[in-house]
Chains A and B, each alone.
Chain A
Amino acid sequence: SAVISQKPSRDICQRGTSLTIQCQVDSQVTMMFWYRQQPGQSLTLIATANQGSEATYESGFVIDKFPISRPNLTFSTLTVSNMSPEDSSIYLCSFSGTGSYEQYFGPGTRLTVT
């Protein structure tokens, strides 16, 4: 199966700054997703990113706060903008293969905002 990676694996950022997280898959995939995993909480979908179209955001998440790019079929980025301590979380990207519904996850990016 395809291999998925994320950069950075972790970061500590100052309040008010932005961080861009990169997600790379080693083969072409149609659908990529971005999730957030807060301590003690369930994984929550932020948005779905399809190549060639605008990302689709879930309720409670907005493009100005979490802009997403999907320039090709193997790569996506998520930016966490104007960060506050409440944005401290693990951010995960995933993809689903052609003709299947299960999603395969990257290793995650652990973000701490001070």
Chain B
Amino acid sequence: EDQVTQSPEALRLQEGESSSLNCSYTVSGLRGLFWYRQDPGKGPEFLFTLYSAGEEKEKERLKATLTKKESFLHITAPKPEDSATYLCAVQEYSGYALNFGKGTSLLVTP
């Protein structure tokens, strides 16, 4: 059973068209939820860490939120350079492993 499920698998947006990516998780003791961006041929790039329900973090056009069951990555007025795969990962109190979802592939067209 997957601990982390991301949806949608792929998303195509027009430049300026805001949307949200979803990450739902099932863990017994959440230490933190992490968002990464991955460009083709590169390693994941760290974006945000969220530790508790109700917490929000922002960076440029991205805003991440967290509830007890899911996290959202809101993208406001995206630009083509926001095109990438966005990965969500959870870490439990029991260890340091990051358990990743399969990601959402975002394409922003001009």
Footprint of B on A, CB under 8 Å?
31, 33, 40-45, 48, 58, 92, 94, 96, 100-108, 110
Contact = CB atoms under 8 A, between A and B. Distances in A.
> Size class of B's contact patch?
20 to 34
Given A33-B97, A58-B97, 17 more contacts: A31-B96, A33-B96, A40-B102, A42-B99, A42-B100, A42-B103, A43-B100, A48-B96, A101-B32, A101-B96, A102-B34, A102-B46, A102-B49, A105-B46, A107-B41, A107-B42, A107-B43
Interface of B: 4, 31-32, 34, 36, 41-46, 49, 87, 89, 91, 96-103
Nearest to B89: A43
B43 A106 contact: yes
B42 A103 contact: no
A15 to B, nearest CB: 25
A41 B9 CA distance: 12
A107 B103 CA distance: 17
A104 B100 contact: no
A80 B98 CA distance: 21
Contacts of B101: 42
B43 A101 contact: no
B29 to A, nearest CB: 13
Nearest to B35: A102
A104 B96 contact: no
Given A41-B102, A42-B102, A43-B87, A104 B46 contact: yes
